[in-house]
Amino acid sequence: MRTRGITTALAAVLVLAFGAACGDDSDAATYYGDELALGNGQIRTYVTTDDSGKPTEVGLRIQEAALEGLPMPAGEPEGPPPAGRPLALPKEAAGAVVDHLTFDWVPHGHPPAGMFDKPHFDSHFYFIDPAAVTAISPQDPQFLAKAAVNPDAKYMPAGYVTAPEPIEMQAVPAMGVHWLDMSNPVAPGQFTQTLINGSWDGQYIFTEPMFTLEWLLTKPSFTGDIPQPQAYQRTARYPTTYSISFDDTADEYVVTVGGLTDRTAS
């Protein structure tokens, strides 16, 4: 009787273990995409999907060593920082509005003057493909005309306005026009992190967590909401949150837009 009881118990454990293993196969999963050397380390893109395979967040994982040995060019730049190489997401990100990312180290800061002067990182999450980003060029005869065409107000997150510079300064090659959050403005000299949005030729084309090196080195655990527009220009899964944190297990910083939610073009 005792042997039979042990055998029955073992069988139950095996059934439970098998069931748990089967359940794991359909749980959320993370996939990795493009990599890029930075400082003394690497960065890489990733996507996390739910148990039905839909993307729930996309982002970057940044090795701790990547913040060591960062290049520090001498002298002040004459214009806006150059755009970084496009970083592809894994194929499992299909369905997300984010097409690809760039991650730019800006050691001297950039305009507006007195606001974003600190050494920082720009992380663009683009909704258009790399070819369309590259086409944002002064070589285009319609460059300034396209910069001046803002999306209909219903398509831009509430509280955002274009930067205060003249249009020829707002139009950043291979990026677009940057919009600032006036509902939560960055006070002069107080920049640690903020969320920028961007447009080009009447289209909402990126969202951009931006943060200082000094603040990132504190290994923050930050999550904020991405203000939502009243309507959407395309049918896709749009992010509703962004976060910047440090993964103690992997020794990696994580920059992500998450809470991806289905939206219908209207």
What's the whole-number mean pLDDT along residues 153-182? 91
| 244 located within any domain | yes
Residue identified by tokens 């974003």 is 116
Q: Is the model more confident about 243 or about 190?
A: 243
Kindly report the pTM of this predicted structure. 0.87
Judged against a pLDDT cut of 70, whether residue 216 lies above it is answered with yes
Give the three-class secondary structure for 16: helix
Domains in the chain: how many in total? 1
Give percent above pLDDT 70 in the chain.
87
Give the three-class secondary structure for 133: helix
| 15 located within any domain | no
| 23 located within any domain | no
Judged against a pLDDT cut of 50, whether residue 13 lies above it is answered with no
Q: Which of 20, 62, 28, 21 is nearest to 47 (CA)?
A: 28
Say what the pLDDT of residue 23 is.
39
Say what the pLDDT of residue 109 is.
78
Tens digits of residue pLDDT in 41-85: 999 999 999 999 999 999 999 999 999 999 887 666 555 667 789
pLDDT category of residue 26 using cuts at 50, 70 and 90: low
Per-residue b or e along 170-188, where b marks 16 or more CB atoms closer than 10 Å to that residue's CB: bbbbbbbbbbbbeeeebee
| 164 located within any domain | yes
Judged against a pLDDT cut of 60, whether residue 16 lies above it is answered with no
Say what the pLDDT of residue 77 is.
57
H, E, C per residue of 37-97:
EECCEEEEEEEEECCCCCEEEEEEEEEHHHHCCCCCCCCCCCCCCCCCCCEECCHHHCCEC
pLDDT category of residue 206 using cuts at 50, 70 and 90: very high
What is the average pLDDT value for the chain, to the nearest integer? Answer: 88
| 1 located within any domain | no
Say what the pLDDT of residue 184 is.
85
What are 169's two structure tokens? Answer: 């300064």
Cα–Cα distance measured from residue 181 to residue 224, given in angstroms and rounded to the nearest whole number: 13
Say what the pLDDT of residue 146 is.
97
| 13 located within any domain | no
Domain that holds residue 132: 30-263
Tens digits of residue pLDDT in 114-156: 788 899 999 999 999 999 999 999 999 999 999 999 999 999 9
| 20 located within any domain | no
| 67 located within any domain | yes
CA distances from 118 to 24, 114, 170, 209, 216 (A): 44, 9, 19, 15, 12
